[in-house]
Amino acid sequence: MADNPSSSAEQPKRNRMVDSVGDKAQQVLKEDYQKAKVAALEAYKSRAYLYPIKGILYFLSHRDLWKPFVSRLGPYLILSVSVVAGMFTFTYVPQLALLVFVNGPLAVFSTVLLVLNESSTIINNLARNWLLEDAILDTFDGTLVSRGSTELVKEGREIKPGNNPMSKLGKILKNPFQKFGPKAIIRYLVYLPLNLIPIVGTVGFVLAQSRDRGQSVHNRYFQLKNWPSSRTSDWLKKNAAPYASFGIVATLLEMIPLASMFFTYTNTVGAALWAADIESLNTTMTDETAPALRNAAKDME
């Protein structure tokens, strides 16, 4: 039986369409790869990912900053143990049963990581909203004062005379911390199914949480600078990569069971050190990005 002429004529057209779609897909992948490469380079140049580590060293070497941490240690440990134990008791097996279908034997490890991330999210938000709010604020402001940014801190609280940076902190005039609102909950639930993808999905889920964590570390700093939300949003967009790199390291540290409170404080110290460095390099910060500020610092050396 003879071939259908119209069918034969359509075949080259379909081939061209397939080739066109393939070319466009390759172009999109290439563009996304280039964007990711640029973002990674910006994050590397900014060295923002080092500030959580700097926060640990600075916190350990400055006993004056320990008071807020010590005062909340007992209640936080009780909260952490309760949440982690409860999550593993009631959610580990059901989530393992679900993930084993897509992750296979690796589900044992990916489920542990998922439960730890979920526990960390619950603990951090409960603690930040009700248990640690004022203590973290004091730690951030106290670190700025210890780095010589007292005039900046005066925009958000009273400053008393004295030598100890923590004892100089007076009445809070502005409180920047936001509660764990509906948007954050929805965003968390939207990204949660990523864990169904073996390994890569769980890593993507952690990275997604890290992005939000990174963009929140300077809420207090932006408030002390009296920036409107539009300017803050513009700054975060320009410096998305450095803040994401900070957030990744901070999130991984805060996922460590029981030690998460310690790293919550040291990450706060690290964020304040970063703010102090930005402040000392460029007070207005209207045109500079974090990588550019880092280059400026090198030129000053």
* Three-state secondary structure string covering the chain: CCCCHHHHHHHHHHHHHHHHHHHHHHHHHHHHHHHHHHHHHHHHHHCHHHHHHHHHHHHHHCHHHHHHHHHHHHHHHHHHHHHHHHHHHHCHHHHHHHHHHHHHHHHHHHHHHHHHHHHHHHHHHHHHHHHCHHHHHHHHHHHHHHCCCHHHHCCCEEECCCCCCCCCEEEECCCCCCCCCHHHHHHHHHHHHHHHCCCHHHHHHHHHHHHHHHHCCCHHHHHHCCCCHHHHHHHHHHCHHHHHHHHHHHHHHHCCCCCHHHHHHHHHHHHHHHHHHHHHHCCCCCCCCHHHHHHHHHHHC
- Tokens 């996922």 correspond to what residue? 255
pLDDT at position 69 is 93
Quick one: what percent of the chain has pLDDT higher than 90?
Answer: 38
Rounded to whole angstroms, the Cα distance separating 162 from 146 reads 12
| pLDDT confidence bin for 196, thresholds 50/70/90 | low
Please give the C-alpha separations between residue 144 and each of 137, 170, 185, 289, in angstroms, as whole numbers: 11, 14, 31, 21
In this model, does residue 200 exceed pLDDT 90?
no
- pTM for the full predicted model: 0.74
pLDDT at 231: 93
**CA dist., res. 66 & res. 269, Å (int):** 11
233 within 8 A of 102, measured Cβ to Cβ: no
Query: Which tens digits make up the pLDDT trace of 210-236?
Result: 777 888 899 999 999 999 999 999 999
The whole-number pLDDT of residue 285 equals: 37
pLDDT in tens, 136-190: 999 999 999 999 999 999 999 999 998 889 999 999 887 765 555 556 666 666 7
Nearest-angstrom CA–CA distance, 247 and 210: 5
Highest mean pLDDT among 26-40, 212-226, 277-291: 212-226
Position with higher pLDDT, 258 vs 217: 217
Q: What is the pLDDT of residue 221?
A: 95
